[in-house]
Amino acid sequence: ILSHTILFKGKKSQIIFARDITDKVQAEEEAVLNETKLNALINSTDDLIWSLDKDLRINAMNEAYHEFLFSLTGESLKVGDSGILKSNSPKEAQKWKGYYARALGGEMFKQEEAAAFGDGTTVVAEIRFNPVYNADDEVTGVVCIARNITTRKLNELKLKELLHQYN
């Protein structure tokens, strides 16, 4: 509602403009609710989830991804930061750029990667790279989901050792 005082035919008068913005308010409330639901969904897993735009800038991530990267590299990433970590060697950076380029080219694929922590522990993850499409079927980004498969890989190694002993 907007109100102005004017002179009309020599008399002080009020002009009042009113516009129904119920639809706008409801749309904003729905957007906030949808964002809340999305945050609850992506933060309800230990899997690492992050999303990059075509310029390889982070446009979303879950808490697990943020915490993992901080514990691994000491980097505290935020939306808008580069998805190529500052702590990566040039060779490592090129490898990740290649993965992202494949997904940005429309390819959906899985990749296994190992990460070594300063305390000597290593984590093996299976990372799914998924292209993100807009309404015009154009790739606009990539969503990555990484699952810790360290235990599975250790069990596979133990099984291979046992099979080798029996052969």
Split at pLDDT 50, 70, 90, the class of 27 is confident
107-123 average pLDDT score: 90
Residue 167 pLDDT > 80? no
What lies within 8 Å, CB to CB, of 50 at 6+ separation is 58, 60, 61, 62, 65, 83, 143, 144
**67/49 Cα distance (integer angstroms):** 11
Confidence (pTM) = 0.77
> CA 54 → CA 33, 102, 111, 163, distances in Å?
27, 12, 20, 46
To 10 degrees, the CA torsion angle through 107, 99, 62, 115? 140
Closest to 144 measured CA to CA, from 29, 72, 56: 56
User: Which has more pLDDT, 72 or 36?
Assistant: 72
Q: With contact defined as beta carbons under 8 Å apart, do 139 and 132 qualify?
A: yes
Distance CA(150)–CA(126), nearest Å, equals: 9
Sign of CA dihedral 143, 64, 116, 147: negative
The pLDDT of residue 64: 95
Look at 46 and 167; give whichever has higher pLDDT. Answer: 46
Strand, coil or helix: what is 110?
A: strand
